[in-house]
Amino acid sequence: MNDALDVALRLLIVFVVFLTFPLIVGQAEHKVMAHMQGRLGPMYAGGFHGWAQLVADGVKFAQKEDIVPAGADRRIFQLAPAVALLPYLLVLLAIPIGPGEGAVGEVVDAGIFFVLAVMGVGVLGSLMAGWASANKFSLLGGLRTAAQLLAYELPMLLTAASVAMAAGTVSLPGILDAFEWWWLPWQIVGAVVFFVAGLAELQRPPFDMPVADSEIIFGAYTEYTGLRFALFLLAEYAGIVVLCGLTTVLFLGGWHGPWGADGVGWVWTLLKAALLAFVVIWLRVTYPRMREDQLQKLSWTVLVPLSLAQIALTGIVKVVIA
Amino acid sequence: MTLAAATVAAAQTTTTAAGPQGFLSPTGVEIAFLLVGLVTFGAAIVTVTTKQLVHAALWLVVALGGLAVEYLLLTAEFIAWVQVLIYVGSVVVLLLFGLMLTRAPIGRSPDADSANRWAALAVAIAAACALVWVVVDAFRTTWIDLDGPAAGSTAVTGASLFQSWVLPFEALSVLLLAALVGAIVLSRRTAAEQRGADATPAGERPAGTPAPGGRPTGADRSSAGARPTSGARTEHDARPSGDDTRADPAGSAPGADDESRGDRKEGAR
């Protein structure tokens, strides 16, 4: 009974995090973008600096009519948002935020493989949406999503493999247990490659060619309205949370901080992840969208060689210190 | 093949369960294993029988995911996640990409059937029988203890892969490398072939202005880039070579659009 309660409590906490953190990132995006562009952003909803703006948005989305285009493949069209969103919920389960057994939803033995595999499944949602909408812009968006995933999955896996080599384990808490501060300069190239590839996988600017509004309206999500559209948006922000959490755990030492991890480990994790989320928003404001051929070129000619070099470096250092 | 493996594995559990517990009191894991096996089997059947191309690919996701769950139930966690990563995350995405780039009509495709289906069925059944027989024969008396320490954890899998089975593993990787090199050789055409290939299929295109013999114009070239063959090439072309950057995804995008729209009209109305 105690075990069941423990599991239920963990699932509940992860679920609450899943529902609130993406909204916090979204609200931060509203305000940070606004201030970077010399304006205020939402100010009215909720009274204090528009804190309830996303809640109001949610109410608006819920009120909208749920439309399925006449020519669309109904079931796949309706299923796609769930396929896009649920993988991120599963990934959150495996990300440890503090030391010990208590600070992770579920300890997964092959944690790196689990998170990368399940994140890859989320892209299927965009593909399904793009195809099932019976809209040429959606189909183009789906195609671009697939091309982008194929290009950026590889550097992401390779850099994650580099960390796994360094730590000698593929379990996420295991990697953090093995972490030393000098891993930071050692794996810094891998960290940048992983983060950039993750951004591309989430289709965040400057890698938002699949949803380029000036060319193909909103890519795979063009035909969606109401709650289903909101679910796709939520998936994007949940993706940011997951990516920042993963980069923190794999490359930035997770709960390790300058003054030890006693009791405040989870604060360090959240702080680092929040900083990365800020960078994600910052990149959106500062960089123009990359063209499709530039996207492919960046991945195959820059990121893949860099990640291979990182693996080589990891291997050499590992052998030398062994 | 994978299907056969699933049924074999299902048969495996039931035979091994005949030991201490017996058939009449199966454990929860065994029941779950059997049910997931049935779902996987059903999804695999639908994959090969459905007339809707994209649905077939999505049912394949269900079948492959079901297999991953079976691996999990047998405590082979590492294999399960690799299965999801490679098959669901990459192979199916590649499959969908290819379908959407060439033809992915919504609704039934009347030509999504093959005259070879009986031959295919015979080959499938023969392969399944061979696999079932080999696996049952090889593991007849082996017992997987699901309650003990995980027999398929990452450490155990890695150790056996790189100690006992390192030679077959390396041989397989050389095989894959050969396939990779072969694919690149096949898809890389010389400049002369390229010019010839650009001119010939122009006449086959239903709409548009064919330019037989002459050098294709810029607009013609960009839409010609959407033919399935060169569309498939773009992945390789994205590599640094940069000899014809115009045929990159950016160039082929508008053309792919035209073609898919044509297919969609046929499929939807």
B115 touches chain A (CB under 8 A): no
- The domains located in chain B, with CATH, are 2-145 (1.20.120.1200), 186-268 (no CATH)
Q: One-letter amino acid identity for A101?
A: E
Mutate to test the interface with A, among B100, B103, B263 (most CBs of A within 10 A): B100
State chain A's mean pLDDT as an integer. 84
Predicted confidence band of residue B14 (pLDDT cuts 50, 70, 90)? very low
Residue B46 pLDDT exceeds 80: yes
Predicted confidence band of residue A263 (pLDDT cuts 50, 70, 90)? low
DSSP state of A290: P
- Where are chain A's structural domains? 21-63, 70-321
Give CA–CA dist A276/A31, Å, rounded: 16
Give CA–CA dist B21/B262, Å, rounded: 60
Predicted confidence band of residue A31 (pLDDT cuts 50, 70, 90)? confident
Cα–Cα nearest to B93, from B47, B52, B58: B58
| Interface touch A120/B93, C-beta < 8 Å | yes
Which positions in chain A touch B153 (Cβ < 8 Å)?
109-110
Tens of pLDDT along B174-198? 999 999 999 888 888 766 666 665 5
CB nearest to B81's CB, from A114, A124, A131: A114
State chain B's mean pLDDT as an integer. 69
Within 13 Å and on the Cβ side, how many CA atoms surround A227?
8
Residue in chain A nearest B104 by alpha carbon: A131
CB nearest to B93's CB, from A109, A127, A297: A127
| Interface touch A142/B256, C-beta < 8 Å | no
- Please report the residues numbered 155 through 214 in chain B whose beta carbons come closer than 8 angstroms to any beta carbon of chain A: none
A274 touches chain B (CB under 8 A): no
- Please report the residues numbered 138 through 157 in chain B whose beta carbons come closer than 8 angstroms to any beta carbon of chain A: 150, 153-154
User: Which tokens sit at A62?
Assistant: 């819920």
Residue A27: CB partners within 8 Å, gap ≥ 6? A51, A53, A54
pLDDT at site B238 = 40
A71 touches chain B (CB under 8 A): yes
Residue B126 pLDDT exceeds 90: yes
User: Which tokens sit at B266?
Assistant: 């046929």
Residue in chain B nearest A291 by alpha carbon: B250
Give CA–CA dist A149/A152, Å, rounded: 5
Residue A246 and residue A198 in contact, taking contact as beta carbons nearer than 8 Å: yes
Residue A315 pLDDT exceeds 70: yes
pLDDT at site B74 = 81
Predicted confidence band of residue A102 (pLDDT cuts 50, 70, 90)? low
Q: How far is A80 from chain B (nearest CA, A)?
A: 11
Tens of pLDDT along A195-253? 999 888 888 888 887 787 777 888 788 888 888 888 888 888 988 999 998 898 888 88
Which positions in chain A touch B81 (Cβ < 8 Å)?
110, 113-114, 117
pLDDT at site B16 = 46
Residue A51 pLDDT exceeds 60: yes
User: Which tokens sit at A234?
Assistant: 């939520």
pLDDT above 70 coverage of chain A, percent: 97
Q: How far is B177 from chain A (nearest CA, A)?
A: 16
Kindly report the pTM of this predicted structure: 0.75
pLDDT above 90 coverage of chain A, percent: 8
Indicate the length of chain B as a whole number.
269
Query: Three-state secondary structure along chain B?
Result: CHHHHHHHHHHHHHHHCCCCCCCCCCCHHHHHHHHHHHHHHHHHHHHHHCCCHHHHHHHHHHHHHHHHHHHHHCCCHHHHHHHHHHHHHHHHHHHHHHHHHHCCCCCCCCCCCCCCHHHHHHHHHHHHHHHHHHHHHHCCCCCCCCCCCCCCCHHHHHHHHHHCCHHHHHHHHHHHHHHHHHHHHHHCCCHHHHHHHHHHHHHHCCCCCCCCCCCCCHHHHHHHCCCHHHHHHHHHHCCCCCCCHHHCHHHHHHHHHHHHHHHHHHHHC
Q: Sign of torsion, CA B125 B126 B127 B130?
A: positive
